[in-house]
Amino acid sequence: MSDNNKLVYCSFCNTHKDLVTKLIVSDNVAICSDCIELCNQLILEENKTDTEDKANKIDAFSIKQHLDKHVIGQDRAKIALSVAIANHYKRINGDPPKDIEIAKSNVLMIGPTGSGKTLLAKSVAKYLNVPFVVADATSLTEAGYVGDDVETMIAMLLAMSDGDIELAEKGIVFIDEIDKIARKGESTSITRDVSGEGVQQALLKLVEGTKCRVSALGKRKNPNSDTIEVDTKNILFIAGGAFVGLNEILRSRVIGSSIGFGAEVKSKDTSVDLRLVTPDDLTKFGMIPEFIGRFTTTVSLEELNKPELIRILTQIKNSFIDQYKYIFSLDGVNLEFTQEAIDQIAENCIVLKTGARGLHSEVERVLLPHMFHISRYTEHGITELTITQEMVIDPKEIYLP
């Protein structure tokens, strides 16, 4: 058979071109319309199982990839958190043999202010598409005291799930500022410590897994209103805090004991690796051992460095600079920053130790005089505003005659 003859047959099913609707021919292969149709179906089915797989499989690697898009730096923390989350959902979605029960492992995030603790937790919840609430530990109290008792967090989760109990029971509760409920020193036991140890005690049962009753609409508990039972066994609790002072505890344990000649070299600023934190250090800080025991995964975040701060300022979607550019554009002014200005802003945050949280207030501080005078700028036909390093160091409006 000559080459030309061959191309009147489909190379896949060998049917003659006269017997099919269409035969598409290239230099040396041909495919008929029936085979194209079949291939199409195969591709569609493959895609479908792909997305179904993704929905059922929460794997650490994909979580980390997602986090990389939203959180700059903090690689180690991202890996540890991704693994913890993946294991948590393996535990609740899996079907382990009867004699194996995977223990619940809540997550404790330790890291300086503005390093991305809340952002990490939020980004994870968004990826998993599970209900997520952020509760502030400082507003929590033991039952019976003025304030929100700890079950309010579960009520909030239920409200977030539109009352769907099953969904709420797989949610994530992020307890922020957990370090603020540390016991205040050894001697405070004379007066009952309302916001500290008592709250830690109250949280124990909840984070370990208990059936608690919460009011339906996320309202405060009221004996007359209908309450709903929610099992917290599969709710993942992530607690986060800056733990200011933990550094010193760590340092005195790790370096302090070896103080002797040459101790002056160890300046107060020697930073110690937060990865070295032990439950004992946290107990010294004021967390009760039973509480720490229920947060088996500890994730430590580092202070963001200057290049990371610059990336946060300029590269992430909806960065602070983008937000202000938009605000200025509303008055017809195109806002730009020189590289030196951006450098200086990042540098200021390093000095102030405010992390990425400081970026926002720095940009705000720098732009404030310009925002105040914006109408005068437009009256004078100013359409371009470039922020220079000097304008960061000494923010003031442009001189207009």
Binding site residues, Mg ion, CB under 5 A: 117-118, 176
Q: Which of 116, 131, 171, 196 binds ligand ATP (CB under 6 A)?
A: 116
From residue 304 to residue 343, what is the string marking binding to ligand ATP with x (rule CB under 6 A)?
x-------x---x---------------------------
Instruction: Please tell me whether residue 170 binds ligand ATP under the rule CB under 6 A.
Output: no
Which of ligand ATP, Mg ion, none lies near 131, with the C-beta cut-off 5 to 8 A by kind? none
Task: Report in angstroms the alpha-carbon separations of 60 from 186, 201, 289.
Answer: 40, 32, 29
CA distance 295 to 118: 17
Interface residue with ligand ATP, options 64, 78, 117, 180 (CB under 6 A): 117
218 φ/ψ sector (left φ>0, alpha ψ -120 to 50, else beta): left
Q: Which of 242, 292 has the CB closer to ligand ATP? A: 242
The entry of ligand ATP, Mg ion, none that residue 73 binds, CB within 5 to 8 Å by partner kind: ligand ATP
Q: Is 356 in the site for ligand ATP (CB under 6 A)?
A: yes
Neighbours of 213 (CB within 10 A): 13
C-beta of 70 vs 373, nearer to ligand ATP? 70
Query: What is the per-residue DSSP string for 347-368?
Result: HHHHHHT-HHHHHHHHHHHHHH
With CB under 5 to 8 Å by kind, the binding choice for 33 among ligand ATP, Mg ion, none is none
The whole-angstrom separation of Cα 117 and Cα 111 is 7
Q: Whole-number minimum distance, CB 71 to ligand ATP, in Å?
A: 4
Which position among 73, 131, 171, 198 is part of the footprint of ligand ATP (CB under 6 A)? 73
Q: Does 113 bind ligand ATP (CB under 6 A)?
A: yes
Residues 6+ apart with CB under 8 A from 2: none
As a dihedral over the C-alpha atoms of residue 362, residue 367, residue 369, residue 373, rounded to 10 degrees, the angle is -160
Output the CA–CA distances (angstroms, integers) from residue 292 to 6, 87, 200, 257, 284, in the order listed: 75, 19, 10, 25, 11
Residue 231 contacts residue 209 (beta carbons within 8 Å): yes
Find the binder of ligand ATP among 10, 114, 168, 328 (CB under 6 A): 114
What is the signed CA dihedral for 180, 182, 187, 188, rounded to 10 degrees? 60
Residue 174 beta carbon to Mg ion: minimum distance, rounded to whole angstroms: 9
Interface contacts to ligand ATP, rule CB under 6 A: 71-74, 111, 113-119, 176, 242, 304, 312, 316, 356-357
